Amino acid sequence: MTTHVIYQIFEIAYIRFPIYDIDPEGLMAEPITPTALFKCLADDTRTKITLLIVSQGELCVCELTAALDLNQPKISRHLALLRSAGLLMDRRQGQWVYYRLHPELPAWVTAVLKDVVDANQQWLETETKRLCGMNGRPVNQAVCS
Contact assessment for residue 62 and residue 138, using Cβ atoms and an 8 Å cutoff: yes
Contact assessment for residue 109 and residue 19, using Cβ atoms and an 8 Å cutoff: no
The three-point CA angle 70-75-80 to 5° equals 170
pLDDT of 105 > 90? The answer is: yes
The answer to whether residue 84 sits within a structural domain is yes
Regarding predicted confidence, which is higher, 138 or 47? 47
CATH number of the domain at 57, please: 1.10.10.10
Q: How many domains does the chain have?
A: 1
- pLDDT value of residue 140: 60
pLDDT of 10 > 80? The answer is: no
Contact assessment for residue 124 and residue 117, using Cβ atoms and an 8 Å cutoff: yes
pLDDT of 51 > 90? The answer is: yes
The answer to whether residue 62 sits within a structural domain is yes
**Across residues 39-64, what is the average pLDDT?**
97
The answer to whether residue 112 sits within a structural domain is yes
Contact assessment for residue 46 and residue 82, using Cβ atoms and an 8 Å cutoff: yes
Regarding predicted confidence, which is higher, 143 or 131? 131
**Across residues 102-118, what is the average pLDDT?**
97
The answer to whether residue 145 sits within a structural domain is no
Question: Other CB atoms closer than 10 Å to residue 30's CB: what's the count?
Answer: 15
pTM value? 0.78
The answer to whether residue 117 sits within a structural domain is yes
Residue 28: domain span: 5-132
- pLDDT value of residue 94: 85
Dihedral pair phi/psi, residue 12, rounded to 5°: -120, 130
The answer to whether residue 101 sits within a structural domain is yes
The answer to whether residue 125 sits within a structural domain is yes
